[in-house]
Amino acid sequence: MTRENEQRALLEAVFERINVGVLLLDDANRIVRWNRFMATHSGLEADAVLGRDLFDCFPELPASWLKRKLESVRLLRNYAFTSWEQRPYLFRFQHDRPVTGGVDWMRQDCTLIPISDSTGQVSHVCITVVDVTDASLYQSALQEANTRLEEASVRDGLTGIYNRGHLETRLAEEFARVRRHGGALSVVMFDFDNFKRVNDTHGHQCGDEVLRQVIRRTSSLLRAEDLCGRYGGEEFTLLLPDTPVEQAVRVAERVRAAVEATPIRTRNRELGMTITLGIAGYEENLGSHEQLLDNADKALYRGKREGRNRIALFDHRLDGQG
Amino acid sequence: MATPVLVVDDSTMSRKLTMRALPADWNVELHQASGGEEALALCRQIKPRLMLLDLTMPGMDGFEVLEAMGREGLECVVVVISADIQPKAEARVLELGAVAFLPKPVDAGQLARVLRENGLS
Amino acid sequence: MSLKSFSDDQLDALQETANIAMGQAGAVLARLLDHYVALSVPRAKPVQAADLAATVSAMLGPSLDLAVTAVRQSFQGRLRGEAISLFGTEGCSELADLLGHESGAGAEQQEELLLDVSNILVGAVLRGLGNQLHTDFAFSAPTLLGQEQGVAAILRRGPVDWVDALLLEVNFRLDPRNFSCHLVLLLPEESIDVLRQALDRMLGDI
């Protein structure tokens, strides 16, 4: 064998045995090369497909889309790609994880490569098919874990509602939106009346249960776009987008009444519970979302001073009284 | 007598390439401008027979130069030499009065043909 | 590295080479979308990894800075580097519309479309550069860097294995539509030397 032939035989062996699907199409999309990976996974040996139209051999291929893609490779002389993340597979191949797979067909990353002949014209297109089933399973699992982590980082561990950090982020966003586009925004802050007594008399576990139940009751009275968050201790905040302050007063009153109406039932006792709520609405002269929160807090403070189990609306006369 | 020719391009290299593409035996008096405003000012002053004009330039671009020349009635054969090779760019410059549209990097043979067709060189 | 290490002639040649490459890519995009594509003057800038986000933000301007969708793709050859295409959020839906996709198209189809368009642009720009500099490229698959996020958040991602790079920016805009795409090419230091030699050869030919 001449040296050149020897080199060619080696390349041929690599082409056959490489653990990547490789096929070559001529200018009429006829298959002119077909390696072992393709034969094994498709169940079609080279002599069954060579010279035949790719789309005749594989009717399940997305023909119009893939033809357009092949055309663009020839016309633009450009590589093209498909990724399992957008298109799980090109060829319907079995994967090597029949038991632990959890996916239907082999996940694939494919590359379409323009191949030029000696005149510089694109004469062929080479398609490579890489089995990425393992990587895709791993990445999907990772993504799920990340989503859970992200959720955990914005939720309060005890009540399952949003924590202070997330609440402030969302409030800042809503505040910016109203400032830019106009509209309404209200904030309600509420606190449990004499909550310390519950903890002192019945223990923290009972106190925690009371918080959970009141939050559940409150959440059921809110719209989907409203947000309930724990501000700290026994202080909670409702963020009510698109809500003028008069409407927020009605929401607050409904929440107050719902808490007062039915005693909280814990494992072996019933506890009457009340809350006090402070309400403030967006105003153009507010400098920041913190000021809006501060106004709701001032209203809450006044409600407490005036005797608890009530709602109180922020009033500019409260400003400066602290 | 030498023919006054104005080469307009913000790139020095590109101006050099354009000047080099002019027929070697043509007796020309070469002027250069690196932007649209400068090109217009020179155009009023030296009244070139031929302007070789780039399209994408910072500040006043080639389209605007052509528009201004039309408004002021400045008589000059304009050949656009452009990196922007979209058919719509070509249609627009021809509409604005350019006699030809050549893609960059400019081909000397193509340029010579355009010059002959327009009775130059 | 600073652009001072480039002579004025080299810089000018670089800008003009980029200009021609971009014109060819613009023509491809125009044919694809059947619209006239307005081209900007390409910009070249030295950039350090740490300042990448700030530099790109400044290039995009305030309207795009807040929410962009970005696609990353690397290219290999004598010159190697990364290409990042940045689309405005409105641009993404405009794109689907321009290519005749129904608005009901799934998120995956929209993503695939974006990857395709950015792949075509990157391929066209680099082929244009390669033709003039007498070099060619291989490409890796494009991936989504982030969707509808601030530039800073998107460019913070991923390991960075370079300190200094040369940034080349071109910008395609469809005037009557809300579509624009900023294409940023980043060449790491060792490619900058190769680039400089290639530019010198080009200048020597004039």
pLDDT digits (tens, 9 = 90+) for C150-173: 787 788 654 456 778 899 998 888
C117 vs A: CB within 8 A: no
φ and ψ of A126, to 5 deg: -100, 135
The DSSP letter of residue C40 is P
Average pLDDT score, chain A: 89
What pLDDT does residue A322 have? 42
How far off is chain A from C131, nearest CA to CA, in Å? 12
> What's the half-sphere exposure (Cβ side, CA atoms, 13 Å) at C61?
7
Q: Where are the alpha helices (DSSP H) in A77-163?
A: 133-154
Tell me which chain C residues have a C-beta less than 8 angstroms from the C-beta of B17: 206
| Cα separation, B50 vs A203, whole angstroms | 96
Residues of A in contact with C123 (CB under 8 A): 76, 78-79
pLDDT at C2: 56
CATH, residue B70: 3.40.50.2300
Query: How far C127 CA sits from the closest chain B CA (Å)?
Result: 14
The residue assigned the tokens 């400019």 is B106
- Cα–Cα distance, A167 to A241 (Å, whole number): 12
Rounded to whole angstroms, the Cα distance separating A239 from A187 reads 5
Which CATH number does A3-140 carry? 3.30.450.20
pLDDT for res B5: 96
Name subunits touching A (3+ CB pairs < 8 A). Answer: C
Query: Which structural domain, as residue segments, surrounds residue B52?
Result: 3-19+26-117
Lowest mean pLDDT segment, chosen from A61-70, A147-156, A157-166, C37-46: A147-156
Asked if chain A contacts chain B via 3 or more Cβ pairs within 8 Å, the reply is no
> C143 vs chain A: nearest CA distance in angstroms?
8
Mark yes or no for CB contact A82/C124 under 8 Å. Answer: no
Residues of chain A with CATH 3.30.70.270: 155-318
The beta strand positions in chain B, using DSSP E, are 3-8, 28-33, 50-53, 77-82, 100-103
Residues in B closer than 8 angstroms to C14, CB to CB, are none
Interface contact C108-A85, CB threshold 8 A: yes
More confident residue, B105 or A127: A127
CB contact under 8 A, C119 and A83: no
Which bin fits C76, alpha (ψ -120 to 50), beta or left (φ > 0)? Answer: beta
The topology (CATH level 3) of A155-318 is Alpha-Beta Plaits (3.30.70)
b/e map of C47-78 (b: 16 or more CB within 10 Å)?
A: beeeebbebbbebbeeebbebbbbbbbbbeee
pLDDT score for C62: 67
Supply angle C-alpha A49, A54, A55, rounded to 5: 125
**Chain C interface, best mutation among B7, B10, B11, by max C CB count within 10 A:** B11
The answer on pLDDT for A119 being more than 70 is yes
Provide mean pLDDT across the span A269-290. Answer: 91
Under DSSP, the state recorded for A221 is T
In order of start, what are the domains of chain C with their CATH numbers?
Answer: 3-205 (3.40.1550.10)
Cβ neighbours of residue A274 closer than 8 Å, sequence gap 6 or more: A192, A193, A256, A259, A260, A308, A309
B59 inside 8 A of chain C by CB: no
Is the CB of C20 less than 8 angstroms away from the CB of B88?
no
Taking residue A283's Cβ as centre, other Cβ atoms within 10 Å add up to 13
Q: What are the two backbone dihedrals, phi and then psi, of residue C67, each rounded to the nearest 5 degrees? A: -140, 105
The closest CB to that of C119, out of A77, A80, A85, belongs to: A80
Contacts of C141 in chain A (CB under 8 A): 81, 83, 109, 111
Give the residue from chain B lying closest to C18, CA to CA. Answer: B83
* ipTM higher than threshold 0.90: no
Look up the pTM and report it: 0.67
Counted domains in chain B: 1
Q: Give residue A144's pLDDT band: very low, low, confident or very high (50, 70, 90).
A: confident
| Tens-place pLDDT, residues B11-53 | 999 999 999 999 999 999 999 999 999 999 999 999 999 999 9
